[in-house]
Amino acid sequence: MDHLAPVFAQFPIEVVAAEGVWLSTRDGRRILDLYGGHAVAALGYGHAGWLAALESQARAVHFQSNAVPMEVRTRAARRLVGFSGLPLDTVFFVNTGAEANENALKLACKVTGRAQVVALEHAFHGRSAAAGAVTWGAMAKWYGFPRPPFDVAFLPRRDASALAAGVTERTAAVIVEPVQGVGGAFDMGREYLAALRRRCDETGALLIFDEVQCGMGRTGHPFAASLYGVVPDMITTAKALGAGFPVGALMTGAKVAAALRPDALGTTFGGGPLACAAVTAVIDAIERGQLLDNVRRLSRIIRETCVVGPVTGTQGEGFLLGLRTRRPAKEVHAQLLERGILAGTSGDAQVLRLLPPFTLAEPHVALLRDALAEIGA
Ligand SMILES: Cc1ncc(COP(=O)(O)O)c(C=O)c1O
């Protein structure tokens, strides 16, 4: 008997090992991983620098809580702020994306003294009480709590005309994925995000960018905020931040940081030394390997060469890329897997989502192109 909670639909493969961008299955197949464990495995598998950093930290001291100052933690925060190039220079490390959002939303309500949060249709922000409350469709499908912790309003995405009525002096925060992940690799674009920034400034609402999926280099830029040139009051990130070691972060600007006092936030495991060593190793690997250049270049090649077979167009940014399919993406997903390529689906039934490791190379894209061509329209 399998004792695991039956809450996840299962891919028809069992992975026993992985190297680079390749997964090995129990039945002896090699699978090209364009899904990256749901946008997590940014460095692929078996990355030497990431492994060495974790091993050396585990041997030095594998855990102490946030009550104990540690150089590995201050270094990770300093490197993350430096990597972002953004004026969000106070970092609170947590464990997951949902936890980062939970803390961001709590701070927004606290700092503004307001009780309404605005989110966008098709958004996904996580499974916890506050993050789930701002996740599109959660109430109907899985939310479970008797009520959300604040009032929630959803606005249509990329529709600046909805902002005047939708974001008001009652709004504590607007939370937005600059490139929606689960929503189908749907990019909000510079103009819409700039309009959102202006409306938040007019009303005193805080702007939160959920970059759990699109951040940490996935767009080919450190954060989507850097790509679009719009600075929010808070950024949340996770997934690629540890490249497989669980870690999330909340990054805040001065306005929110001014409200932080001892005990305002807390966590046992967040900011643990192994997580922080992983963060620094990921940033080292991205910078030394010029992986952001690689993401931008390969993303361009995918967009130029992979509109073949069932694919009619592309959307998204960098390696949060959507391939729009003529037929249900689920069918194409299954046909690719039969040909040894693992992609992702999304909340949009006609978008196949690619979330590959940043280390992907041109021959891998050629394999995808050929498989799509073979599948046919
Ligand atoms: C944009 C976004 N925010 C938040 C989350 C939740 O992150 P976690 O599963 O680490 O709690 C996800 C997870 O898919 C996500 O894509």
Query: Beta strand pairing status for 30-33 and 341-342?
Result: parallel
Contacting residues for 343 by C-beta, under 8 A, at least 6 apart: 34, 35, 323, 332, 333, 336, 337, 352, 353, 354
* Residues 354, 284 contacting (CB under 8 angstroms): no
Contacting residues for 261 by C-beta, under 8 A, at least 6 apart: none
Q: Which atom of ligand 1 is found nearest the CA of 131? A: 4
CA-nearest of 281, 306, 280 to 360 is 306
How much distance in Å is there from the Cα of 131 to the middle of ligand 1? 9
CA distance 181 to 40: 12
In this prediction, residue 199 carries a pLDDT of 98
Supply the residue whose CA is at minimum distance from atom 4 of ligand 1: 125
In this prediction, residue 98 carries a pLDDT of 98
Supply the residue whose CA is at minimum distance from atom 13 of ligand 1: 126
- 233-267 in b/e form (b: 16+ CB < 10 A) is bbbbbbbbbbbbbbbbbbbbbeebbeeeeeeebeb
Read off the amino acid at residue 296: R
Supply the residue whose CA is at minimum distance from atom 3 of ligand 1: 125
In this prediction, residue 127 carries a pLDDT of 98
* Residues 236, 224 contacting (CB under 8 angstroms): no
pLDDT in tens, 271-302: 999 999 999 999 999 999 999 999 999 999 99
How much distance in Å is there from the Cα of 373 to the middle of ligand 1? 32
In this prediction, residue 211 carries a pLDDT of 99
How much distance in Å is there from the Cα of 293 to the middle of ligand 1? 25
How much distance in Å is there from the Cα of 132 to the middle of ligand 1? 10
In this prediction, residue 301 carries a pLDDT of 98
Q: Is 326 left (phi over 0), alpha (psi -120 to 50) or beta?
A: alpha
Q: Which atom of ligand 1 is found nearest the CA of 239? A: 10
Q: Which atom of ligand 1 is found nearest the CA of 128? A: 11
Contacting residues for 346 by C-beta, under 8 A, at least 6 apart: 181, 182, 183, 184, 185, 322, 329, 352, 353
Q: Which atom of ligand 1 is found nearest the CA of 238? A: 10
Ligand 1 interacting residues, C-beta cut-off 6 A: 96-98, 101, 124-126, 177, 181-182, 210, 212-213, 238
In this prediction, residue 47 carries a pLDDT of 98
- 72: DSSP letter: H
In this prediction, residue 335 carries a pLDDT of 98
> Which domains, and CATH codes, for the chain?
48-288 (3.40.640.10), 291-353+369-377 (3.90.1150.10)
Backbone φ and ψ of 208, nearest 5°: -115, 125
pLDDT-flagged residues of the chain (< 50): none
How much distance in Å is there from the Cα of 59 to the middle of ligand 1? 30
Q: Which atom of ligand 1 is found nearest the CA of 101? A: 4
How much distance in Å is there from the Cα of 374 to the middle of ligand 1? 33
Tell me the C-alpha to C-alpha distance, in Å, between residue 212 and each of 111, 223, 236.
Answer: 22, 10, 6
In this prediction, residue 236 carries a pLDDT of 99
* Residues 346, 337 contacting (CB under 8 angstroms): no
pLDDT in tens, 212-267: 999 999 999 999 999 999 999 999 999 999 999 999 999 999 999 999 999 999 99
How much distance in Å is there from the Cα of 60 to the middle of ligand 1? 31
* Residues 244, 40 contacting (CB under 8 angstroms): yes
How much distance in Å is there from the Cα of 161 to the middle of ligand 1? 28
